[in-house]
Structure 1
Amino acid sequence: MASRCRLDLACGLALLTRLPAAWLAPLAFRTGAAPWPMARSIWCWPLVAAGVGAGSGCILALLRTAHVPALAAAGLALACQTALTGALHEDGLADMADSFGAATPERKLAIMRDSHVGSYGVIALSLSLLVRAAALAALPVHSAIMACAITACLARMAMLLLPASIPPARPDGLARMLYPIPRGSLGGAVICALAVVLGLPFAGHTGALPLWPYFAYTVAPIGIGCATAWLVALWAKRILGGFTGDVLGGCAVLVECLLLSFYAALA
C-alpha cells in the first residue's frame, strides 16, 4: 500500500508540477519499464493542487507583509505558481479558446492539438491572468494562504468531474488515459478535496467558526466549482463530442478565476 501511494503521488506531482517526482516511484517505473498509473493517481491531485496553492498563497502573504504593492505581489505569486506548474492548465485554456474560431468539431480538435497560440488564446490568457492578479491583490493577507489552497484544490477537483460524466473526444492523449475514470480513485479525490476545503477554514481558529463565514468559504466555492465543471462538460459534449486534456486545463483555470474573484468579493 505504501508503495502504491508513493507511485500515485509521483504521478500526481509529475503531471501537475515541475517538481522532481521520479525518486518517489519504485525502480521499475523510474527506469521506464512499466507505465505509470496516471488514472489511479487522481485521488491525490486535490492534495498536490492544495500544496501548489498554499505555496503561491505563502509567497503572496510574505510579499504583502514586506509592504510590496498588492498588485505586484499578486503578479509575482502568479509567476511563481506558473513556473511551478509549467503553465499546464493555462496552455489548455489557450488551446480551448483558439478552437472557438473553428466551425466543425474536427477542426476544433485539430486547432487544440496545434502548439501555436492564436489571438483568441492570447486574449483568454491575458484576461485570466488579469482576473486572478486583481483578485489576489484584493485578498486580505490573513486569508490568502487558505483561499489560494482551497481554490487550487477545487479547480483540479472540478476538472476531474468531466471524465466522470462525458467520454473523451479523441481515442488517444491524456483524456483517453483518464477514461473510464476509476471510481475508487475518484471517490478518494472527492474525500481529499472535502478534507482540504472543509478543514482549512478551521486552521488558526480555536473555537467554532460562525455559520455564514464557514458557509462562504466552503459550501459556496464547492457549488461554484461543480457548476462551472457542469457547464464546461455540457459545452464539450455538445461541441466536441467529449473532453480533451485542453478542456480539463481550461476548466481548471476558469474555476480558479471564479473562486479567487469570489474570495476577493468576501474581503
Structure 2
Amino acid sequence: MLENKDKFIATWSFLTTFPAPKTAQETSPQLSMMPLVGLGLGLTFYIAAWLLSGFNPAVTGLLLLILWLGSTGFLHLDGLADLSDALGASHGDRTRFLEVLKAPDIGSFAVIALILAILSKLVFLSVLGFAEVFAPLLLIPAWARLGAAWWVNELPPLHEGLATWLLDAGEANLTPWLITLLILSLLFAPILLLAPVILWAWKLFLEHKVQGMNGDCLGAGIEICEILLLALCCLTL
C-alpha cells in the first residue's frame, strides 16, 4: 500500500504542478497511476467549478481554463505546439518532420494550434458553466491520461530521449481502469462512454501519420482528447 502511495505521489508530481509530499528518490512515475492522477485533477476541476458556479458562466469558464492549463504547467500545450509545427512544416518529409519536432523554437502552425486549443477549451467550459453541468469534469482528465498510458503500450518511440520510466514500464495493466471509467461514466456522464473511440482514433492517427510516439505526441494527445471530450459533452446539452 505504501509503495503504491509513493508511486502515485511520484506520478502526480511529474504530471502536475500541485505540491506533493516527497517520496524515496528511487520511486518513479507509473503508467498505471496516470488515470488516478487524472481523477485527482478532475475532482479538483469539479470542486472549483462548483465553487465558481455563482459567477457569470463566461468568467467561470475562464477561471477553470486557467486552472486546467496551469495545473500541468502548460506541458501538454507545449507538446501540441511542437507536433503541430512538425506536421505542418514537414509536408510529408519524414526526416524534416523529426527535425522540426526536435527544434526548440515554434512557428506559425504551433501558434495557430495553441490559439485554437485554448479558445476551444474556453468555449466548451463556458458552455458547461451556462448549463451548470460539471460532472464530466470529473472524468475527462482521467480518460485522456488513460489514453496516454495506452498509447505508450501500443506504439514504438520515435527517438531516444523519451522518459525512462515510460520506456521501461512494460505493458501496464490498464483494463481495470478502463472498466472503472466506463462504470463512472455510465453513472455520471453517459456520453463519455464514447471516450474509448476518441482514444482509439488518436492512436490510429499516431500509428499512420506519425508512425510512433514521443512526449510531444502524448501531450498533444491529452490536449486533443480533452477538447474532443468536452465538445462531445457540450453537444448533448
Name the TM-score, length of structure 1 as normaliser.
0.78
Contact 1:49 1:156 in 2 (8 A): yes
Equivalence map 1:1-267=2 (5 Å): 2-23=1-22, 25-26=23-24, 29=25, 34=26, 36-38=27-29, 41-65=30-54, 68-100=55-87, 101-103=89-91, 104-139=93-128, 142-144=132-134, 146-174=135-163, 177-179=165-167, 181-183=169-171, 185-187=172-174, 190-199=175-184, 202=187, 217-218=189-190, 220-223=191-194, 225-267=195-237
State the distance in 2 between where 1:124 and 1:115 align. 16
Deviations 1:94-128 (A, max 9, x none): 11111121142232223222232221111111111
What whole-Å deviation, never above 9, does each CA across 1:44-90 have from its counterpart, x for those lacking one?
Answer: 2112112212212322332232xx22122111111012222111111
* Maintained 8 Å contact 2:143/2:181: no
Going from structure 1 to structure 2, the CA distance change for 1:232 and 1:105 (only over 3 Å counts) comes to: farther
Count the aligned residue pairs: 234
List structure 1 segments (4+ residues) > 4 angstroms apart after TM superposition.
none
How far did residue 161 of structure 1 move?
A: 2.0
Contact 1:16 1:49 in 2 (8 A): no
Letter in 1 for 2:218: L
How far apart are residue 264 of structure 1 and its match?
Answer: 1.4
CA distances 1:9-59 after superposition (whole Å, capped 9, x unpaired): 122111210123352x13xx1xxxx3x433xx1222112112212212322
The amino acid that maps onto 2:158 is A
In structure 2, distance between residues paired with 1:17 and 1:197 = 24
Identity %: 22
Confirm or deny: 8 A CA contact 1:95 1:117 kept in the other structure. Answer: yes
* One-letter amino acid matched to 2:45: S
Distance 1:241 1:118 in 2: 22
TM-score where L is the length of structure 2: 0.87
Tell me which amino acid in the other structure corresponds to 2:149: L
Whether the 8 Å contact between 1:44 and 1:192 is mirrored in structure 2 is no
- Matched position secondary structure for 1:143: coil
Once the 2 structures are TM-superposed, how far is the Cα of residue 3 of structure 1 from its aligned partner? 3.0
